[in-house]
Amino acid sequence: MSRVYEVMFIVRPDVAEEDADKLIAGFSATVTGGGGVVKSVEKMGRRKLAYLVRKFNDGNYVLLTIEADGAVVLELERRLRVTEPVIKFITVRIDEEEKRLAKVKALRGVRRKVSGEHAAPSATAPAAAAPVAAVVEAEPAQAAV
């Protein structure tokens, strides 16, 4: 079963740009060789790390968005783990999140249509408001007695 994943990894800051491109090409080849699809590759640039990782204070961030099955992701993670220039990585499955966001957008669309219909004056709205006003007016009278 093919699912969508985001794989973010951090490359050591002393790695040349050409070598980082070769790493990305190698990881992309691993995904496509296993039957997956690389949806996007985003090089986020050099950023400061939150804490010291393998004696480095900063690193080059790369984000891969892939569509693959579990075996391909396991192989990609194995290669990330044994590749020396990669100092940190994380893989997150995002297809469930995309599904949830689509559901929320659909519900918002339904609510907007329904709220547009309720905006028109109806015969039940004033009748429902009258008993509430009567109760509010009655409470101060009781408090005064």
Q: How many CB atoms lie within 10 A of CB 89?
A: 19
* H runs (alpha helix) in 2-145: 17-33, 70-82, 95-118, 124-144
Using the CB atoms, write b or e for 55-88: b if 16+ within 10 Å: eeeebbbbebbbbbeeebbebbeeebeeeebbbe
**Shared domain check, 103 and 89:** no
143 assigned to some structural domain: no
Q: Is 9 helix (H, G, I), strand (E, B) or coil?
A: strand
Residues 83-135 have pLDDT tens digits of: 999 999 999 999 888 888 888 988 888 777 766 665 555 555 555 545 554 44
In a shared domain, residues 86 and 20: yes
**What is the CATH classification number for the domain harbouring 85?**
3.30.70.60
Closest-CA residue to 61 (of 41, 83, 32, 81): 41
The verdict on residue 35 lying in a domain is yes
Domain shared by 20 and 40, yes or no? yes
Q: In what order do the strands lie in the sheet with 86-93?
A: 37-53, 56-68, 3-11, 86-93
- Asked if residue 44 and residue 11 are part of one domain, the reply reads yes
The whole-number pLDDT of residue 145 equals 46
- As for how many domains the chain has, the answer is 2
Lowest mean pLDDT among 30-34, 43-47, 88-92, 95-99: 95-99
- Give the number of other Cβ atoms within 10 Å of residue 11's Cβ: 23
* Local confidence band at 5 (pLDDT 50, 70, 90 cut-offs): very high
CA distance 62 to 60: 7
Task: Give residue 24's domain range.
Answer: 3-93
